[in-house]
Amino acid sequence: MRNTLVAQRGDQVTDAMEVRGLGMWSAVVTAVLAAVAFGVAATTPPRTGPFAAPGTALAFPYSAAARFVPGDFLWMYLALAMMFAFVVLAACVREIGAGRRVFGTLGLSLAVASLAIIAADYFIQLRTVQPALVRGEFDGLAILSQYNPHGVFIALEELGFLLAGISFCFLAFALGPSRLEHWIRGVLLASSILLFASFIGLSAVFGLGVEYRFEVAAITIVWLTLAVAGVMFAFLFARLEPRR
């Protein structure tokens, strides 16, 4: 019996160490990918919509965008990897929740949903829109294209990042009472509030003409949050005794 208890405790310590290590490295990877992806996306100029440089906007159905393949799509690879790393991080946050696993589970579930939507959205761009543009297959492509400021791509991105914002809120409440966790909670909650305030505010001001304004705001808020919170989580996992 004693040997069994010792073995069980040993397994628990091993599992805790694995969660701690995985959490730390997933936090580091999330932060790095978020920062790099944001930099690449920010330096990719908008080709259509309200932020396009005067006189440079591509005309519907955006067939001239073929010359920007693959440069305008490179940031999506980084963003996909970032979202996957975020899901791993969310799973590790759930594991260290001090009696708050219900919040961690909800946060993880919403992070998975966010990844699924963003992954489908970006994969369509990478595997359907890119080759169609290069091959001149423009029939029905405009509604799917990232260059359409009110197309399917923008709508799915908005939904995906809204779900990420809700997951931030639940993950925040899964954290414990330490000072560092308090600061991380503040960052996550502030990001969630700012994200939804932007959605409501921009929708109210621009109505059906909001185009990709909220998408830009969502990318800025979510990705910078993952960059900042990722660094903070890395420190948390590096020094935190995992809770059971």
Summarised one tens digit per residue, pLDDT across range 190-212 is: 999 999 999 999 999 999 999 99
Whole domain around residue 33: which residue ranges? 2-239
Tell me whether residue 244 is in a domain. Answer: no
CA distances from 81 to 36, 67, 75 (A): 11, 25, 10
- Tell me the one-letter amino acid at 82: M
Cβ neighbour number for residue 208 with a 10 Å cutoff:
7
CA distances from 201 to 52, 68, 69, 114, 196 (A): 22, 32, 34, 22, 8
> Which residue in the block uniquely carries the two structure tokens 């990709």?
212
Q: What are phi and psi of 44, to 5 degrees?
A: -90, 110
Q: Is the Cβ–Cβ distance between 226 and 29 less than 8 Å?
A: no
Q: ω before 131 within 30° of 0 (cis)?
A: no
pLDDT at 234: 97
Q: Tell me how far apart the alpha carbons of residues 125 and 15 are, in angstroms, rounded to a whole number.
A: 39
Tell me whether residue 97 is in a domain. Answer: yes
Name, in order, each residue with C-beta under 8 angstroms of 156's C-beta and a sequence gap of 6 or more.
Answer: 117, 118, 120, 121
Name, in order, each residue with C-beta under 8 angstroms of 54's C-beta and a sequence gap of 6 or more.
Answer: none
Q: What is the mean pLDDT of residues 36-46?
A: 95
Cβ neighbour number for residue 241 with a 10 Å cutoff:
8
- Going by pLDDT thresholds of 50, 70 and 90, the confidence category of residue 240 is confident
Q: Is the Cβ–Cβ distance between 132 and 144 less than 8 Å?
A: no
Residue 230's Cβ-count burial label (10 Å; 0-12, 13-18, 19+) is buried
Tell me whether residue 10 is in a domain. Answer: yes
Lowest mean pLDDT among 79-88, 118-127, 147-156, 235-244: 235-244
pTM for the full model? 0.91
- Going by pLDDT thresholds of 50, 70 and 90, the confidence category of residue 160 is very high
Q: How many domains does the chain have?
A: 1
Q: Tell me how far apart the alpha carbons of residues 172 and 150 are, in angstroms, rounded to a whole number.
A: 32
- Tell me the one-letter amino acid at 127: R
Q: Tell me how far apart the alpha carbons of residues 65 and 69 are, in angstroms, rounded to a whole number.
A: 7
pLDDT at 11: 40
CA distances from 234 to 22, 27, 39 (A): 10, 5, 21
